[in-house]
Structure 1
Amino acid sequence: MATFVLVPGAWLGAWAWEDTARALRERGHTALPLTLTGLAEHADQGEPETDLNTHIADITGFIERNDLRDVTLVAHSYAAAPVTGAAGRLSDRLKRLVYVDSAPFAAGMRMLDLMPPQAADQLRQQVDASGDGWRLPMPPLEVLGLSSSLDGLDESQRNLLRSRATPQPFGTYTQRLDGPSEPGPGVDRVLVACHDFTGLLAAGVPMLAYLNQPPWRRFDLPTGHWALLSAPAELADILDKAVS
């Protein structure tokens, strides 16, 4: 049986993994959801200095304090950034990396690099206007719904996402990934691609082409970006298959 450390994306906490974690435990696995600094029940620990390195330290510290070995480390969305950083520091403790609707970050990359300059400027304005200069509120669901990211979420799940999301420390978006970012050569690598991501892969985006080649193994999950909420049992099935 596998040991999963489950890291949620922006604005989320360990709560978002609850149903997937429960399904994994029912299959005999150890499933450990993690809340990062400044989010959910750890919101009061956030401060203007909270950044990407803070979240990398959260992940590495959690795994090392609990002396976890042969870990399957799972990143959803934004968590790809700190998980990539943590993977470069934890290779001897990792058995597998899983990126859910996300991909590893290259050294020197930051979250703001994933969007056009105008969109990044809009986020900065939101942080200044509504986040005390250091917190990024979650966009309204009406904005998120302009893509297929909300596919699969019923009204109760949308309300849960809306009510439990907490502002993201913006330093996690502005700081570039530094330090080691490559896991050891023996670490298994898995991609779980949802609707938007499968579209990018099908379009042949050059910077993502490597994800369709060994050592990567790809599983497609026909739901929106928030698979933790829209398809938790199906996501657990894929994670179970990935470690079998």
Structure 2
Amino acid sequence: MATFVLVPGAWLGAWAWEDTARALRERGHTALPLTLTGLAEHAGQGGPETDLDTHIADITGCVERNDLRDVTLVAHSYAAAPVTGAAGRLGDRLERVVYVDSAPFAAGMCMLDLMPPEAADQLRRQADASGGWRLPMPPYEVLGLSSSLDGLDEGRRDVLRAGATPQPFGTFTQPLTGPAEPGPDVDRVLVACHDFTGLLAAGVPMLAYLNQPPWRRFDLPTGHWPMLSAPAELAAILDAAVS
């Protein structure tokens, strides 16, 4: 059986993984959803100094504090950035990395680099309007421009909105530094939802490597938040990935 550390994307906390974690435990796995600094129940711990390094330390600290071994580290969306950083630091504690509708970050890259300049400028203005270091979750009509909302009915959207907390903006602006690549023996898995299957089908050159060994790809036909729209199906894929 595997040990999963489940890292949520922007604006989310461990709560977002509850249904998937429960389904993994029912299959006999250890599932540890993680809330990063400044978010959800840890919102009060965040501040202007909270950045990408803070979240990398959250992940490595969880693994080391609990003396976890043979870890499967799962990143959803934004979490690809801190998970990539943590994967390069965990050494032989790490068995596998799984990117859910996301991909590894390159050293020197930050979240804002993934966005058109006008979109990045809009986020900066939103953060400035909220005190400079916090980024509120955008409205669904804005999120839907870049991320598939498929599978999120009105009830699930209400759950997502109610649980969301402003993201420490330093986690979007700080580039990834330090080791950004796990060891060669670490298993690499991609779970591609609608957003990523579309990008891969379009033949985006910078993502072509994800269709080649050592990467293993699993497709999940749902939107960008599968832990809410298809939690049991996501758990089944994670179980298959470690079997």
Normalised by the length of structure 1, the TM-score is 0.98
Q: How do residues 32-181 of structure 1 correspond to structure 2 at under 5 angstroms? A: 32-129=32-129, 131-147=130-146, 149-181=148-180
1:52-108 deviation line (CA, Å, top 9, x unaligned): 000000000010000000000000000000000000000210010000000000000
What is the rounded CA distance, in whole Å, between the counterparts of 1:99 and 1:240 in structure 2? 14
Shift in alpha-carbon separation, 1:140–1:113, aligned structure 2, 3 A: same
What is the rounded CA distance, in whole Å, between the counterparts of 2:100 and 2:91 in structure 1? 19
What is the rounded CA distance, in whole Å, between the counterparts of 1:203 and 1:243 in structure 2? 28
1:10-56 deviation line (CA, Å, top 9, x unaligned): 00000000000000000000000000000000000000010000000
What is the rounded CA distance, in whole Å, between the counterparts of 1:135 and 1:210 in structure 2? 34
What is the rounded CA distance, in whole Å, between the counterparts of 2:57 and 2:104 in structure 1? 17
| 2:216 alignment partner, SS class | strand
Which amino acid is 1:55 matched to?
Answer: H
What is the rounded CA distance, in whole Å, between the counterparts of 2:151 and 2:115 in structure 1? 24
Shift in alpha-carbon separation, 1:87–1:124, aligned structure 2, 3 A: same
Superposed displacement of residue 148, structure 1: 5.5
Q: In the alignment, is the contact (CA less than 8 A) between 1:141 and 1:162 conserved in 2?
A: no
Superposed displacement of residue 161, structure 1: 0.6
Which amino acid is 1:51 matched to?
Answer: D
Q: How do residues 21-36 of structure 1 correspond to structure 2 at under 5 angstroms? A: 21-36=21-36
- Structure 1 unmatched ranges of 5 or more: none
Query: Partner of 1:239 in structure 2?
Result: 238
Query: Partner of 2:195 in structure 1?
Result: 196
> What is the aligned-residue RMSD (CA, Å)?
0.7
What is the rounded CA distance, in whole Å, between the counterparts of 2:114 and 2:65 in structure 1? 32
Which amino acid is 1:103 matched to?
Answer: A
- Structure 2 unmatched ranges of 5 or more: none
Which amino acid is 1:7 matched to?
Answer: V
Query: Partner of 1:205 in structure 2?
Result: 204
Query: Partner of 2:226 in structure 1?
Result: 227
Which amino acid is 1:243 matched to?
Answer: V
Identity of matched residues, %: 88
Question: Which stretch has the larger CA shift, 60-69 or 143-152?
Answer: 143-152
Which amino acid is 1:176 matched to?
Answer: P
Superposed displacement of residue 145, structure 1: 2.6
| 2:98 alignment partner, SS class | strand
Superposed displacement of residue 189, structure 1: 0.3
